[in-house]
Amino acid sequence: MEKRSQWGTRVGFLLAAMGSAIGLGNIWRFPATAYENGGGAFFLPYLFALLTAGIPLLIMEYTIGHKYRGSAPKSLGRMRKGFEWIGWWQVAISFIISTYYAVIIAWAILYAGYALNGAWGDDTTSFFVGDFLNVTEPGVVGGMNMKILIPLAIVWLITLTVLGIGVKKGIEVANKIFIPTLVVLFLIIVVRALTLDGAVDGLQAFFQPNWDAIGDPGVWVAAYGQIFFSLSIAFAIMITYSSYLPKKSDITNNAFITGFANSSFELLAGIGVFAALGFMALQTNQGVTDVVDGGIGLAFMVFPQIINEMPVLSGVFGFLFFASLVLAGLSSLISITETYVAGVAEKFNLSRVTAVAIGGGLSAIISLLYASNGGLFFLDTVDHFINSYGVALAGLFEVVAVAWFAKELKNLQAHANSLSDIMLGAWWRVCLAWITPVVLGYMLLQNLRVELMENYEGYPIEFLFYFGWVVAIGAMFVGALMTVRKWPNNELEMPIDSK
């Protein structure tokens, strides 16, 4: 039997896992989320969520991958036959996310260039939606946005080449280059941002604790939501990556290191972003609150404005910012794409290169939809629904299946403890069997309530139906469909109980 690929070094695995975790979510999602949910007071629920759900789930996924040695569907299917579909469902979700994530990285590549020549002009918002995206109406494709095609091709070329080369020489080497580079670039950005006038006001706004927020359940849900998304949990990623760990690998400690590294980067991003926002607020005579934004708006509309206001070397600062987005994004894109490359290769007994060509090729073609003039609306809608009713729901199914249906937590705990420095105890099982399902369940109900009250972003109902609900629920069906075929070879090359 072909030997399973393995990471070359522990650091290699850790950097790849951090590369997946540290993504656009850290840079553009965390700062605004923290600010809007209590500022300095947000750190309490955030830390609580990290310790009671984020790291425990990460340990669970690492242990499953290490113990069952397969892609997410294969590993979960080996635990219990019926769980295979949860793995495929998560793989389908990752596939869908990869199709638009690639396009955002392509935008960032173009913006890195625009930063150098200030191509976005004074009105950065109308540049982004108008000149740059030629935005049409929701649901209208409206032709292809040609300038995105070349950077998009570059994004896919890099990703698929890295994956085609393999785990050790491809994914590991790429992350060993990307992640340290990202940290250095980002540190330069943060230091520069901190030396701008008004930076202190920005930080003050960011860290100012609003203790009343602690009493608001919505703030706790936001903290858990941020942690789940940010740690790439329930994307099938961490199971896949840990399935390449050598036999003797610490699991629990690795999960703590990944979790803390990811949160540290998140905090760093919060500091950098708010220092820059404080500067812009001062320059434009506004309050910090008036300039806060998250997501695409922060990166592609507000940051260009900040760059416009900068006194010296603004082009370099802008270039570094968008280069950071590209690096953070690429290492995450590599990780989600690997989930379906691994799953498809194992299921259809294909070589890695063939699986990359088929899976990656299909994803690249679908990504053209988001490179159309109507792309922004498709992207926004698919992203919203796939995160709220894909990732969160699949995560809920995963913990409930493992903790309650298979009653596997004790076995997983024994497996992790036989290998790790830090010992898991009853606290770990309580976090997974009780805290995580309760929070995820509550989060889903809350999301659903808001969804039914008003159309997301006021988009037409039909559009939301096809590109929101059908996509999110479709991932579940595609997952089920994939289980029809039997695995070509399902014996473990390493007996489960070996240490």
Question: Based on CB atoms, which residue is closest to ligand PHE, 23 or 225?
Answer: 23
Provide, rounded to whole angstroms, the least separation between the CB of residue 109 and ligand PHE: 17
Instruction: For residue 39, list its beta bridge partners.
Output: 209
Q: Which is nearer to ligand PHE, 23 or 38 (CB)?
A: 23
- Which of 280/392 has CB closer to ligand PHE? 392
Beta carbon nearer to ligand PHE, 336 or 355: 336
Cβ atoms within 10 Å, residue 178 = 23
> Nearest distance from residue 36's CB to ligand PHE, in Å?
17
Smallest gap from Cβ 285 to ligand PHE, in A, equals 33
Dist CA 79 CA 82 (whole Å): 9
Contact 238, 61 (CB under 8 A): yes
Q: Which is nearer to ligand PHE, 205 or 231 (CB)?
A: 231
Q: Residue 63 or residue 94: which is nearer to ligand PHE going by CB?
A: 94
Smallest separation, CB 414 to ligand PHE (Å):
29
Q: Where are the beta strands (DSSP E) in 6-84?
A: none
Q: How far is the CB of 262 from ligand PHE (least distance, A)?
A: 7
Type of residue at 392: A
Identity of the amino acid at 357 = A
When the beta carbons of 202 and 259 are compared against ligand PHE, the nearer one is 259
Q: Name which of 102 and 193 has its Cβ closer to ligand PHE.
A: 102
When the beta carbons of 223 and 424 are compared against ligand PHE, the nearer one is 223
Q: What's the DSSP call for residue 137? A: -
State the Cα–Cα distance between residues 323 and 338, nearest whole angstrom.
Answer: 23
Quote the CA–CA distance of 20 and 15 in Å, as a whole number. 8
Structure tokens that stand for 21 in this block:
């975790």
Nearer to ligand PHE, 105 or 282 (CB): 105
Judged by beta carbon, residue 101 or residue 303, the one nearer ligand PHE is: 101
Distance CA 340, CA 95 (A): 7
Q: SS3 of 244, please? A: coil
Find the shortest distance in angstroms from Cβ 180 to ligand PHE. 18
How near is the Cβ of 462 to ligand PHE at its closest, in Å?
27
Please, what is the minimum distance in Å from the beta carbon of residue 101 to ligand PHE?
5
Give the distance, in angstroms, between the CA of residue 29 and the centroid of all CA atoms in the same chain.
10
User: Helix, strand, coil % (nearest 5) of the chain?
Assistant: 80, 0, 20
- In degrees, to the nearest 5, what angle opens at C-alpha 309 toward C-alphas 303 and 314? 75
Evaluate whether 40 touches 208 at the Cβ level (below 8 Å): yes
Q: Long-range contacts for 192-198 (Cβ within 8 Å, ≥24 apart)?
A: 192/317, 193/271, 193/272, 193/273, 193/275, 193/276, 193/279, 194/271, 194/272, 194/275, 196/275, 196/276, 196/278, 196/279, 196/310, 197/279, 197/282, 197/283, 198/278, 198/279, 198/280, 198/281, 198/282, 198/283
CB of 449 to ligand PHE, least distance (A): 25
> Binding residues for ligand PHE, per CB under 6 A?
20-21, 23-26, 97, 101, 229-230, 232, 235, 332, 335-336
Total residue length of the chain = 499
Minimum CB separation from ligand PHE for residue 21, in Å?
A: 5
Helix (H, G, I), strand (E, B) or coil at 139: coil
Least CB distance to ligand PHE at residue 332 (A) = 4
Structure tokens at 72: 């997410």
Identify whether the C-beta of residue 340 lies closer than 8 Å to the C-beta of residue 91. Answer: yes
Query: What minimum distance in Å lies between the beta carbon of 168 and ligand PHE?
Result: 21
For residue 35, give the 3-state DSSP assignment.
helix
Provide the angle, in degrees to the nearest 10, between the axes of the packed helices 470-482 and 84-117.
130
Q: Which is nearer to ligand PHE, 79 or 237 (CB)?
A: 237
Give min distance, CB of 405 to ligand PHE, in A. Answer: 27
C-alpha to C-alpha distances, 486 to 63, 73, 75, 179, 263, nearest whole angstrom: 24, 12, 14, 38, 40
Query: Which of 24, 219 has the CB closer to ligand PHE?
Result: 24
